[in-house]
Chain A
């Protein structure tokens, strides 16, 4: 737990990206115009399920300004289906519906026109002859043999059905004094960025090159476009210098990109599709998990939790997407921060006639934490034990790291008890309890919410081969290139888009730290995908670890080269030299300056050591730490580094009105060494806001006709500045042994525990009435109705 003193790391520094954004000079996808660009508007189906008999676009095509109408049939004949991560080849997905519609809102055809308005006018003239068919919306129903599969060729609605048993579950249950069972449901919601997804494609037949600009956050994006369009990998050029207006996982847009790429090639001019908000909500295919947990937990009289059985049933929507893997990632922290000895985990993912899911911040960890933390609260309730004391008893202790959990991952480092102690002090826990009691005496319902959870970080996505044995992938890499130019200035290249995580600041700070030069002087560029080295995008809370790691290693390589030049130049052994602020100092008092070194490297080949290449450039391609093995016996290391967070809040509400008011919110956060404090704290605050939304307000709700009720921001309610309270962050630092500076990830912080904490607070408030709320979001109406039922 030693806090190192850094020159630039962990010090308050302005993120460099902020300058362009406060001036309105971000470069977002809708800001990009290309000459002769055409605009796409997709036609949405209104049926939850239907057979498409025919599409008559003749009236649309006759309208001025309309250039083309693309149907699913045309597209399916020309492109490969979009990739599935699981072995489900008969769950075929194309950007437009082919032969049948599988969810209300699914895109049936696409109009290409000279303006978006003209395209929308033309949509209204297209006649789709469709026969509505039976549909399923509920996941349990989808499992029944009597339910028609959404993909008949697949034979059932099961995308994934895996049972894992880690450790002696039956023995632990037999030995335990008690067990209890309950169910909770994580309602379908998502992180819904304020910018919708957009993509622009331009095909150049002379160069045989497809240029792509997109608001994208996706690993293997260029690869998937190439595969779908049957183009060589080096015929796709993705421009990473597009600013992404928020993503938090969801901006994958592969169907939009393949559609637009196809149209661009067909028509020979630039084509752009920007989802409008209605398209985004209903058919952007960016919904999040919708998951029911059935949990049985075994524990002793003294509160020791021995074992857990968890069935997680997720409603993936009409196509496979990334949804099933969001059941796999939580295996990396399946016991949470607790010393639970054994786990039986049954993961089920089913198709229904709902919108498709996409990766959402945490990739399934937030729902799983909600389930685990509810379990801890239920155990405490059963035993009449304090909920905090129960957790403290079960938490992994600081002397137990690295800690091996039953599913095969090692937790690298942590001191959970210390974080909790800090939070209790900062929050003045006794005063919080007293305030809760005072509110209760005044006739309000009041409760304290507690959640302790982990943020697995680093993106060792070994849940992929775990859930699909034909996937033999173990490589999850990131890269960075650094160049010192002939004038001695440092430029680094990062090979990804960013959506607010501050990667330019991350890399310049780390490089500055390694090379001991002012990060402000380091320029970061984003080459396009053809000019880039391999990477895996900002997912899995990985970039501080991976991009930071690659940048640091590239910087160290340059430093090593500089030292070698200095050794040769000064004629002394390396142990007589030290690197200081870019200069090299010899023990005998000589100084070999940066400028002299640059001059040598760039212009005086004759003064370089034998065999050394000229110039001052380096690159690093880094594999994820601990990522060196495929799963064995259903166990594998996932995610090298584990950050920890502990939430504590006080909620009250009027028993009739039922509107929760958050009085105070304190979060303890340990993400190892912090690269930039304001970036990390911003992530945590934002994550808590997302979590409050998931707990209280946000749901993609459907009616019995399979229609999405929450089609716009009028009904999908996101927290405003009135709903997110002032939040206090308490920091702690247990560095990771796996990373160069001990940094862990923090991109999902706050979101992973806030829903559990807010739910726990409301449940604590109503516990005295014997009420349990078992579904998120918890609406005011639900709270008030439940209380009225108990008190009438």
Chain B
């Protein structure tokens, strides 16, 4: 058994875990954050996407022990929390505006992939959006309204007054 301490959504999370436990299962079962989903457990579907240092990665393709010391953002770190619970970040709100989801299972991963894109590319083309989410499989939407959501979010992020690069609700 190994001790693991990570930073998740700005807060330290510690646990004792077997090395074979993936970061995905650690986030869900030890950190208790259920918003990151298991779709295939072999790195294809992208439902397990989280952000590490702002970059999208597949949490089912990392062991929790590998992530020791890393700075991780899950879907729970996007939008309002605590006193601001119920507030949506701009990307989340755009997904609601265009109905870029149906069952919601791939959605956290999709939103984080969008976060990762828009934090480095503030004015993506449709092709760039499709490339950024090409590793996230959706079986409900056919991607059209997802692409619409991300392009809408890009526009709205560009119109924001503050300079914050992402929707992460870190202090």
Q: Cβ of B105: which chain A residues have Cβ within 8 Å of it?
A: 26, 28, 193-195, 245-246
Q: Does B45 contact A194, Cβ atoms closer than 8 Å?
A: yes
Interface of A is mostly: loop
Q: Give complex CA distance A23, B130 in Å.
A: 22
Determine whether A726 belongs to the interface, using a CB cutoff of 8 Å to chain B.
Answer: yes
Q: Does A686 contact B97, Cβ atoms closer than 8 Å?
A: no
Q: Does A15 contact B99, Cβ atoms closer than 8 Å?
A: yes
Q: Does B41 contact A686, Cβ atoms closer than 8 Å?
A: no
Interface residues of A (CB under 8 A from B): 14-15, 17-26, 28, 30-31, 117, 191-196, 243-248, 276-277, 499-502, 678-679, 681-690, 712-714, 718, 720-722, 724, 726-727, 750
Determine whether B134 belongs to the interface, using a CB cutoff of 8 Å to chain A.
Answer: yes
Q: Give complex CA distance A17, B96 in Å.
A: 9
Q: Does A23 contact B38, Cβ atoms closer than 8 Å?
A: no
Which B22-77 residues sit within 8 Å CB-CB of chain A?
A: 28, 33-42, 44-45, 47, 74-76
Complex: chain B residue closest to A31, CB-CB: B34
Q: Cβ of A685: which chain B residues have Cβ within 8 Å of it?
A: 141-145
Q: Give complex CA distance A750, B140 in Å.
A: 12
Q: Does A194 contact B42, Cβ atoms closer than 8 Å?
A: no
Which of A31, A191, A688, A720 has the most chain B CB atoms closer than 10 A to its own CB? A720
Determine whether B137 belongs to the interface, using a CB cutoff of 8 Å to chain A.
Answer: yes
**Inter-chain pairs besides A246-B105, A684-B142, A689-B141, 7 sampled, C-beta below 8 Å:** A18-B99, A22-B79, A22-B107, A194-B39, A247-B103, A277-B40, A721-B143
Q: Does B102 contact A720, Cβ atoms closer than 8 Å?
A: no
Q: Does B40 contact A712, Cβ atoms closer than 8 Å?
A: yes
* B103 partner, pick from A23, A499, A712, A718, beta carbons under 8 A: A499
Complex: chain B residue closest to A726, CB-CB: B144
B131-171 contact mask (Cβ, 8 Å, vs A): 1 or 0 = 10111111111111111000000000000000000000000
* A21 partner, pick from B21, B104, B129, B138, beta carbons under 8 A: B104
Q: Does A195 contact B34, Cβ atoms closer than 8 Å?
A: no
The 7 closest A-B pairs by CB, nearest first: A24-B35, A21-B104, A245-B105, A500-B102, A500-B103, A685-B142, A24-B75
Q: Give complex CA distance A712, B93 in Å.
A: 33
Q: Does A689 contact B36, Cβ atoms closer than 8 Å?
A: no
Q: Cβ of A194: which chain B residues have Cβ within 8 Å of it?
A: 37, 39-40, 45, 47, 105-106, 137-139
Determine whether B101 belongs to the interface, using a CB cutoff of 8 Å to chain A.
Answer: yes
Q: Does A720 contact B103, Cβ atoms closer than 8 Å?
A: no
Determine whether B126 belongs to the interface, using a CB cutoff of 8 Å to chain A.
Answer: yes
Q: Cβ of A721: which chain B residues have Cβ within 8 Å of it?
A: 129-131, 133-134, 136, 143, 146-147
Q: Give complex CA distance A501, B141 in Å.
A: 11
Complex: chain B residue closest to A718, CB-CB: B137
Q: Cβ of B98: which chain A residues have Cβ within 8 Å of it?
A: 678
Q: Chain B's nearest CB lies how many Å from the CB of A215?
A: 10
* B142 partner, pick from A28, A246, A687, beta carbons under 8 A: A687
Pairs A–B under 8 Å by Cβ, sample size 21: A21-B101, A24-B33, A24-B34, A24-B35, A26-B35, A117-B20, A192-B139, A194-B139, A246-B103, A276-B41, A500-B101, A502-B102, A678-B99, A678-B145, A686-B102, A686-B140, A686-B141, A713-B40, A721-B147, A722-B131, A722-B134
Complex: chain B residue closest to A24, CB-CB: B35
Q: Does A22 contact B134, Cβ atoms closer than 8 Å?
A: no
* B101 partner, pick from A22, A191, A712, A750, beta carbons under 8 A: A22
Q: Does B38 contact A30, Cβ atoms closer than 8 Å?
A: yes
Determine whether B6 belongs to the interface, using a CB cutoff of 8 Å to chain A.
Answer: no
Q: Give complex CA distance A692, B138 in Å.
A: 13
Q: Give complex CA distance A17, B78 in Å.
A: 18
Q: Chain A's nearest CB lies how many Å from the CB of B29?
A: 8
Q: Cβ of B103: which chain A residues have Cβ within 8 Å of it?
A: 21, 193, 195, 243-247, 499-500
* A26 partner, pick from B41, B93, B104, beta carbons under 8 A: B104
Q: Give complex CA distance A721, B134 in Å.
A: 5
Q: Does A20 contact B143, Cβ atoms closer than 8 Å?
A: no
Q: Cβ of A726: which chain B residues have Cβ within 8 Å of it?
A: 126, 144, 147
Q: Give complex CA distance A724, B135 in Å.
A: 13
Determine whether B88 belongs to the interface, using a CB cutoff of 8 Å to chain A.
Answer: yes
Q: Chain B's nearest CB lies how many Å from the CB of A94?
A: 27
Q: Give complex CA distance A30, B142 in Å.
A: 25
Which of B39, B103, B129 has the most chain A CB atoms closer than 10 A to its own CB? B103
Q: Chain B's nearest CB lies how many Å from the CB of A667?
A: 11
Determine whether B111 belongs to the interface, using a CB cutoff of 8 Å to chain A.
Answer: yes
Known contacts A22-B95, A713-B45: does B145 contact A682 (CB below 8 Å)? yes
Q: Give complex CA distance A25, B33 in Å.
A: 10
Q: Chain A's nearest CB lies how many Å from the CB of B46?
A: 9
* A22 partner, pick from B47, B88, B129, beta carbons under 8 A: B88
Q: Does B134 contact A245, Cβ atoms closer than 8 Å?
A: no
Q: Does B139 contact A18, Cβ atoms closer than 8 Å?
A: no
Q: Cβ of A22: which chain B residues have Cβ within 8 Å of it?
A: 79, 88, 92-93, 95-96, 101, 104, 107, 111
* B139 partner, pick from A681, A686, A712, beta carbons under 8 A: A686
* A24 partner, pick from B74, B138, B144, beta carbons under 8 A: B74
Known contacts A23-B88, A24-B36, A500-B140: does B96 contact A277 (CB below 8 Å)? no
Q: Chain A's nearest CB lies how many Å from the CB of B87?
A: 9
Complex: chain A residue closest to B109, CB-CB: A194
Q: Does B42 contact A277, Cβ atoms closer than 8 Å?
A: yes
Complex: chain A residue closest to B97, CB-CB: A14
Q: Does A679 contact B144, Cβ atoms closer than 8 Å?
A: no
Q: Does B139 contact A690, Cβ atoms closer than 8 Å?
A: yes
Q: Give complex CA distance A106, B95 in Å.
A: 40
Complex: chain A residue closest to B76, CB-CB: A24
Q: Does A23 contact B92, Cβ atoms closer than 8 Å?
A: yes
Q: Chain B's nearest CB lies how many Å from the CB of A588?
A: 45
Complex: chain A residue closest to B146, CB-CB: A721
Q: Give complex CA distance A290, B171 in Å.
A: 55
Q: Cβ of A191: which chain B residues have Cβ within 8 Å of it?
A: 139
Q: Does A750 contact B34, Cβ atoms closer than 8 Å?
A: no
Q: Give complex CA distance A681, B41 in Å.
A: 31
Q: Cβ of A682: which chain B residues have Cβ within 8 Å of it?
A: 99, 102, 140-142, 145
Q: Cβ of A679: which chain B residues have Cβ within 8 Å of it?
A: 99, 102
Q: Give complex CA distance A687, B143 in Å.
A: 11
Q: Chain B's nearest CB lies how many Å from the CB of A35?
A: 15
Known contacts A243-B103, A713-B42, A714-B44: does B34 contact A19 (CB below 8 Å)? no
Q: Does B37 contact A195, Cβ atoms closer than 8 Å?
A: yes
Q: Cβ of A247: which chain B residues have Cβ within 8 Å of it?
A: 103
